[in-house]
Amino acid sequence: MNHFAYTRAASIGEAIAAARQPGAAYLAAGTNLLDLMKGGIATPTHLVDITRLPGLAAIERPPDGSTRVGALVRNSDLAHDPDFAGTYPMVAEALLAGASAQLRNAATVGGNLMQRTRCAYFYDPASTCNKREPGAGCAALGAATRIHAVQGWSDSCIATNPSDFCVPLAALDAVVEIEGPQGVRTVPLTEFHNLPGAHPERETALRPGELITALHLPPEAATFSRHARYLKVRDRTSYAFAVVSAAAALTLDGDRIAEGRLAFGGLALKPWRRAEAEAALAGGAPIPATFAKAAAIALDGAKPTGEANAFKIELARRVAVRTLGLAAAGTPASLPALPASPFGLA
């Protein structure tokens, strides 16, 4: 591991000032960053410890019915908060489907948004990777691509975003609160992560020195609490990242869908959501034919990077139909023993 400077910030302003320096990185739980440093993938010259910053570890419910989650709230605390889990059940289900209990007890909301791809070629210093070294090339192209993208990829990068948490957040129109040298601003979660294009090294909308301070869920997100599910298909039932996942939420008006939300994980370098697919749900009956139509629209243009991951397109269609069907059946009174697993769903 390379030598680095260390600062424990006492205020947000102090943290931002320290992080403006070239080579600086914020440190919270470090569940992803420290692994990257140990492997020589990330080499920050200055770590800015934000774990003691005041006011960033609270879950708040403003009078307008929205929810504000501080960036330092632990994943496990958020998932097990009764009010939060009851209001946003598919977010809690996604959180509990991610990593292990030990990691969830340490990992933070802000850090989850910032975790980097689990592409094996990104993690291998001997492989070329445009994320690590812009212009070096992408060793994944033409190689083993089973877990790689089928939507939004480019010739510069075919990696996927590993987050479970971000998938239902995208479906619920979550907003990221950011503070930086120019003040406070907000970015929709759907616009926070970048598709690779020609510059896969530009992973998020954050500018130099900016810090995620909170996550906001709008009042409308609570209207889906009775019909919302998250489904994750992975190579083993626990401690594995999604091959394909989906978050689905509905509001029903009698025997018709009043509004629907659908987002995918494991398909692209960001949660994948299409407004046209959700529009196809509105007014339809909550039946497999309606769900299949919406899934087909959401997956339009999907393209594998080789034979190894062509199966993901059909798998994503099936996952979408099943998750929408589970949402239509209703949110269970308690989470399954294996949250988000196809083997543990009621």
What CATH class is the domain 225-329?
alpha beta
Start-end of H helices in the chain: 12-19, 33-38, 75-79, 82-87, 89-96, 101-106, 109-114, 166-171, 189-192, 275-281, 288-298, 311-329
Report the C-alpha gap between 262 and 249 in whole angstroms: 7
Same fold, 5-49 and 225-329: no
Q: Count of residues for the chain?
A: 346
5-49: CATH topology? 3.30.43
* Backbone φ, ψ for residue 6 (5° rounding): -140, 130
Which distant-in-sequence residues (6+ apart) come within 8 Å of 248 by Cβ? 90, 171, 228, 229, 230, 231, 260, 261, 262, 320, 323, 324, 326, 327
* Residue that the structure tokens 């370098």 belong to: 269
Low-confidence ranges of the chain (pLDDT < 50): none
CA neighbor of 245 nearest in space, from 309, 315, 295: 315
Both tokens of 315, joined, read 């798998």
pTM for the structure as a whole: 0.98
Sketch the domain layout of the chain as residue ranges: 5-49, 225-329
Q: What is the pLDDT of residue 346?
A: 55
Which tens digits make up the pLDDT trace of 128-166?
999 999 999 999 999 999 999 999 999 999 999 999 999
263-299 pLDDT tens trace: 999 999 999 999 999 999 999 999 999 999 999 999 9
**Crossing angle for the helix pair 311-329 and 288-298, to the nearest 10 degrees:** 140
Q: Looking at residue 227, what is its pLDDT?
A: 98
Question: E strands within the chain?
Answer: 5-8, 24-27, 46-49, 59-60, 67-70, 175-180, 183-188, 211-217, 228-234, 242-253, 256-265
Q: What is the number of other CB atoms lying within 10 angstroms of the CB of residue 208?
A: 12
Q: What is the pLDDT of residue 2?
A: 84
pLDDT at 1: 64
**Which residue reads 């995208």 in tokens?**
170
Please tell me the predicted confidence (pLDDT) of residue 336: 86
